[in-house]
Structure 1
Amino acid sequence: MAYQAADWSTNFSLNILSRGLYDCKTNSLHPHPNYVAMAIWAPLFLLHLCSPDTITAYSLEDNELWLRNLFGLGRSFGLAIYILKGSWTGSPINYLAIPVLLVAMVKFAERNLVQYMASSNQFRDSMLQGPDPGPNYAKFMDAHSAKEAEGFVIYRGPLIETPLEEDPFHNLAETDIPDDEILRHAYSFFETFKKLFADLILSFQDYKSSRSFFHKHSSDVAFKVVEIELGFVYDVLYTKAIVIYSRLAIVSRLISFSLITSVFFVYLFKYWHDFSETNMIITCSLLAGGSYLEFYEMILFFSSDWTRLWLDNHKNLLVDLIVRTISFSRSLHLVPADKRWSDHLHQYNLLSFCLKEKSATRGIIRKFFHAKLEKYMYKTKTVPPELKKMIFNLLKEKSVRAKNIKECKELCAFRGGPVLKNAGRGLDKLDWSIEVEFDQSILLWHIATDLCYYEDLKSNPNLVENSKCKISKILSDYMLYLLVMCPFMLPNGIGQIRFQDTCAEAIEFLQEWKAIRDIKQACEELLLVNTKVLPNEVKGDRSKSVLFDACRLAKALKVQEKDKEWTSEQMWEVMTHVWIEMLCYAACHCQWRYHARQLTNGGELLTHVSLLMAHLGLSEQFQISEGHGRVKLLVS
């Protein structure tokens, strides 16, 4: 809200000041002394607008509009200069506005430069290598023809070139590594894998090196590296990180802080009694706020990953002292902690939503607000460490099997079918729930997971403490959240229509059973419905609801428990692996610009999984083959 209102409020305030200047000049040849003091507000407004280093864009679209933002801010600066010029009387207080305006201009230049560099075309162009015409084919063939005309026997041999760079992680033992090492590796991979966010292809060497590193480390290290990488991506796209982490920027920050603080104290101690109390309070508040912003930005600067990385590469006594000071400050919570993403999964449950919708139908006004707001009210769950471990182990296993681009595409297309097939017990007959459209599969397995969960909760309350059961439930609600709230991150389909139709049928069913008060009772009644006849044979294809198809799936899963050799624990293990495969499928098929967009909302597990898959070679944006060698001309 504050970011969105910043431009508007700044322009509004500047317009009021310029109007005041016009009124002053209309009534008198010289501006009123109070207005002269108020004129310093103009550069202060611009300083507050352009000052924050931690946000230069709220969305990727803001970066694309860098030229429009340039003209908009240019107009604001022109208005500020007009106000200062019009209020100029040569008094000492006029001169205090000059350093503030200079600092604001530097901030303005930084903000627009960053937006320009983060725009899609410039971001992509910055990573493109220079043109490579390759060997001179025409010259080669001229030499070939000349030698052939002279009667030489011509043949071609391979040209021995510089061998590929040796894998730096080839001899690395599988072990945990310290945080500073993780940071260095994360930045190294970021420099390479940021190409993905520009839709560029990575080389065979990139794939080989990354895959080797991640194969030799635990899930904790892998997800930590990915987390730091995405933090760097966020900084490049949405903050001033591109321009502020340099020696020149450090000097600029120190000068800016010194100038604003000096102006504040001069104004406070020299002009406190010269103007109206209201004027002084507002001016001092703006100056104090500017000084605080500069000071806070310096704290963030020294506690960032970029600074830690620079300090780690320039070790000496002074650097060691700075590192110890930062560590001590962080232990006292004086410096922000290293929190790069939320580490939470948003949760959205269809049956819970329908139960609330049922109760909301009693009043028109209540129903209206429920329909508009309830959709955006969801819970969050912390990502379980065991879930990360299971995801990583599955992806490592797939990575070992992916020998070429064809196998990679096949592995990325898995959505749970191989899990059902390998589980045996006739579960491969349930592949109908996997082979449908992806959004339909999510809805089917989401409702079936709920039905099985609350059925087991009734018969064996301790079973739901099983980690596989918890993970299945969390992933089920997370995938539905993506379907409802972030459909752009999933493959194209009619998921919104299916969700609405399924909700409508569920609400209709719940209204018929007025005694149903909670989700447990709802699941019990749904499982009691006879589903021997396929729902689409009765309903046709007009409605896209999958409510009772999900009941069929849940019953088929529960039937397996009647076999003494098949336990609930095994069923939940299968369901967990199905959900993980669905998560990986969605991650692999989400465009990278949508992953980048979600970074502003705290990030998604889907994005972390997608980047992890790329590191393990499970991406179509790799040049999997080593390419063709060059040849040289041999004669005899």
Structure 2
Amino acid sequence: MTTMQLIPESLRKLWNEWELRGMVLASLALQIILILIGNWRKHSTSNKLRILLWLSYLSADSVATVALGILSSNQEESQGDSVNPKVVITAFWAPFLLLHLGGPDTITAYSLEDNELWLRHLLGLFVQVVVALYVAFRAWSSKELNFLAIPMFIVGMIKFGERTWVLRSASSEHFRDSMLHDPDPGPNYARYMEEYCSKRAQGFRVNSVELGGDNSLVDAVVDGTQNVAILDKAYDFFETFKLLCADLILSFHDIVHSHSFLENTNSDQAFEVIEFELGFMYDAFYTKSVLVSSGLGCILRGITVSITLSVFIAFLFSKKQAYSGVDVIITYILLIGAIVLESYAVALLLSSDRTRLWLNKQKNMVARLMVLLRSAVSSVPLGYNKRWSNTLAQYNLITFCLKAKPTKCISVQKFLFIYQLLEKYRYKELVDIPTELKELIFEQLQEKSRIGSNVEASKRKQVCARRGDQVLQKAHCLKELGWTINEVEFDQSILLWHIATDLCYYSDVNRNSNSVPSENCEDSKLLSNYMMYLLVMCPFMLPNGIGQIRFRDTCAEAEEFFKEKKIMKSGERKACTKLLDVCTDILPSKVKGDRSKSVLFDACRLAKALQSLESDRGWSNERKWEFVSHVWVEMLSYAANQCRWSGHAQQLRRGGELLTHVWLLMAHLGLTEQFQISEGHARAKLIVE
């Protein structure tokens, strides 16, 4: 009685009438959202897009599963010729729900963890197929729709099976196994030594001579790489360097080819190759691209498209008088929706880099026709041509501490315990990566690789471990500034140099207000703010440490200082001037102890030491900023090399990171710890005299 009063009878009837219809239409709507924006996250850094995609991805499977459950519970009518026509047409929707559970080609996994759950999806495949077959069996009455459901079941199972297979292939265990070669026992040592001892016992003079090849990185010959298309080169490199994503070791000869190519190219081409490679990597972990672009995938896609079109035409000419007009319209929507989604998926496949790569190698008439078709498809903005955001996230500690941006609804945010999270995001900014910064990074990494190739093999990995001290040593500043690198943890170095860079920047602006900051000055500021963004927003990409604690303590001390000087919500220039005015003749640790992990005034000491390079050593302002920019590049390269591949792969679905591009670029140059630096092809030959 209470339920009847709370829920009106008319509303209950409306719910019972539209419950299944609403769930089926909602399932289709979620598929449309996923296929349209699933691939955008490769090049978009929008948090709103991520939230929408996350909600759609999590809801899609649940909605389709619930709809199948409702369908199965509605099959309580009698069987045979007396089956209710409404039951027959709604049972025809079951294979469409299987198709939806298969998901679109543009997104199979939201995160890497989803690939590890492929067994759960396999179980779901069996369960949902059984439920859908049960629904079809209970509704069987030898009607036209019953027979039309059979081919649609084939389409649904193919799509669901594709997704499960792709998730399995991208899981860490199977991805690694797919790249392992057959076991190689190497040359027969026992037989070699048996022959050696036999000849020596016979009185012969036996010498063992080792035969090896040329292992020079710098002098490797480039075999026509300048004439090879960037895309072809990128895919060739991807097939080799995807070993990094499975924690496998690159061989010496894997590095030679890529190193030679990069030594004879410019920064634009180098970063373009990396961009293509990371696009292939994204496709491998988050989409069906690897499957659908294969021969088997093309066959399966041809089957699903042709079957769906045939069923649509058959339904168009079938007798539908016995069914509800609303249900018929929904069936048309499902069929047309399936056709449109499949057509869109085919268009994406035609415009993909993998298809372009395949067409470049084909010379037959079919390939030429596909090239024309691809050109037509590529002219339509499908969101596939952009491969990453090409932006640099910026986060500035002093700006954050000044609280220059007003907070809205602060009480509500604190009540929901999201104030600190939103406060961080409010001070995050995005800027386009300038070409000059890419040139600076590429030149420094090339120089670093040359240094690495000229040292002993056992010491090459030590070059990768440099995090600014090599630049200090080269500039003969290790004695004065080495404490900021060698005597502190890496996150502390980032904080010290970040604040010091800001202080030097605004000090120079005050001193030379009429001059434009140099390129090295601007690059240093960009890299400084980017490394601070990684420390605050992406600490999993940096070496383990207490960076979050140091950041909070430093912010607390900075805010206290700014409040005391009454400069809260003022500009950064004034705040930096006040900080530089503080006398730091006595070490802050001697006054404050080590309870607080703040590095604010240690950074002031560093800033004053950097400024004194001009007066004490006679450096020009340009040379000082060149020095600072080189320190930041070395710190960036160290962070890139220390980050695990899973951290880089996770960021691919968030628009990409410059750090990931630097990581892969370093690997191409041999600046990686996943590099077998010993000679792997040595052979020994017996010389008998």
Scaled by the length of structure 2, what TM-score is found?
A: 0.84
Structure 2 equivalent of residue 527 of structure 1: 580
Correspondence list, 1:419-438, <5 A:
419-423=471-475, 428-435=479-486, 436-438=488-490
Answer yes or no: is the 8 Å Cα contact 2:217–2:259 preserved in 1: no
Name the CA shift for 1:75/1:519 in 2 (closer, same or farther; >3 Å): farther
Q: Deviations over 1:264-323 (max 9, x none)?
A: 344356466643343233332222221111001101111111111111111234423432
Q: Is the 8 A contact 1:201 1:622 kept in 2?
A: yes
1:105 aligns with 2:157: yes
Q: Report the AA paired with residue 620 of structure 1.
A: E
Partner of residue 400, structure 2: 353
The residue type equivalent to 1:56 in the other structure is: T
Tell me what 1:402 maps to. 452
Tell me which of 368, 381, 384 is aligned to 2:431: 381
Matches within 5 A, 1:70-469: 70-149=122-201, 151-158=202-209, 170-171=221-222, 181-268=229-316, 270=318, 274-330=322-378, 332-356=379-403, 364-367=411-414, 368-377=417-426, 378-403=428-453, 404-423=456-475, 428-435=479-486, 436-461=488-513, 463=515, 465-469=517-521
Return the alpha-carbon distance in structure 2 between the equivalents of residues 106 and 256 of structure 1.
Answer: 8
Does 1:482 find its partner at 2:482? Answer: no
- Whether the 8 Å contact between 1:207 and 1:624 is mirrored in structure 2 is no
Aligned to 1:5: 59
CA–CA separation in structure 2 for the residues paired with 1:401 and 1:165: 13
Letter matched to residue 260 of structure 1:
T
Q: CA 1:138/1:564 → structure 2, altered by over 3 Å: closer, same or farther?
A: closer
Q: Are 1:544 and 2:544 counterparts?
A: no
Deviation, structure 1 residue 542: 1.0
Q: Secondary structure at the match of 2:74?
A: helix
- Show the counterpart of 2:643: 590
Mapping for residues 12-27 of structure 1, pairs under 5 Å: 12-22=66-76, 24=77
Contact 2:215 2:679 in 1 (8 A): no
One-letter amino acid matched to 1:397? E
Cα distance between partner residues in 2 of 1:286 and 1:361:
43
Deviations 1:10-59 (Å, cap 9, x if unpaired)? 2122112222224x459x99543122211222211221231411221122
Q: Residues of 2 paired with 1:406 and 1:154: CA distance?
A: 34
Unpaired runs of 5+ residues, structure 2, are: 1-53
Residue 553 of structure 2 is aligned with which of 498, 501, 507?
Answer: 501
Q: Distance in 2 between matches of 1:616 and 1:405?
A: 15
Residue type matched to 1:9 in 2?
V
Could you tell which deviates more after superposition, 540-549 or 47-56? Answer: 47-56
Q: 1:568-601 CA deviation, whole Å, 9 max, x = no partner?
A: 3333222211111110111111112222222222
Q: State the Cα distance separating 1:633 from its structure 2 match.
A: 4.2
Kept after mapping to 2: 8 A contact 1:502/1:547: yes
**One-letter amino acid of the counterpart of residue 393, structure 1:** E
Mapped to 1, the partners of 2:219 and 2:73 lie a distance apart of 65
User: Is the alpha carbon distance of 1:633 and 1:516 closer, same or farther for their aligned partners in structure 2, counting shifts above 3 Å?
Assistant: closer
Say whether the 8 Å CA contact 2:255–2:669 is kept in structure 1.
yes
1:608-635 CA distance string (max 9 Å, x none): 1111111111112222232463334454
Structure 1 residues 458 and 35: CA distance shift in structure 2, 3 A: farther
Give the match's secondary structure for 1:21.
Answer: coil
Per-residue Cα deviation, 1:469-497 (whole angstroms, up to 9, x for no partner): 22212111111111112111111111111
Return the alpha-carbon distance in structure 1 between the equivalents of residues 90 and 405 of structure 2: 57
Cα shift at 1:457: 3.4
Partners of 1:515 and 1:61 lie apart in 2 by 46
SS at match of 1:380: strand
Give the secondary structure class of the aligned counterpart of 2:392: strand
Change (3 A) 1:517 1:271: farther
SS for the counterpart of 1:601 is coil
Once the two structures are TM-superposed, the CA of residue 162 in structure 1 deviates from its matched residue by: 9.6
Q: Taking structure 1 as reference, are residues 321 and 524 closer, same or farther at Cα in structure 2, changes over 3 Å only?
A: same
Q: Are the structure 2 counterparts of residues 524 and 327 from structure 1 closer, same or farther at C-alpha, using a change threshold of 3 Å?
A: same
Q: Secondary structure at the match of 2:653?
A: helix
Tell me by how many angstroms 1:164 deviates. 9.3
The one-letter code of the counterpart of 1:197 is: C
Q: In 2, are the aligned partners of 1:157 and 1:633 still within 8 Å (CA)? A: yes
Aligned-residue sequence identity (percent) comes to 51
Structure 2 vs 1, CA of residues 162 and 336 (structure 1 numbering), >3 Å: closer, same or farther?
same
Look up the equivalent residue of 1:381 and give its one-letter code: V
8 Å Cα contact 2:251-2:675 kept in structure 1? yes
- What letter matches 1:114 in structure 2? V
Cα separation, 1, equivalents of 2:309 and 2:558: 62
* Superimposed CA distance per residue, residues 125-169 of structure 1 (whole angstroms, 9 cap, x where no aligned partner): 1111111222333334444454455x3315144476999999997
CA RMSD of aligned residues (A): 3.0
> What is the DSSP-based 3-state SS (H/G/I as helix, E as strand, rest coil) of the residue aligned with 1:83?
helix
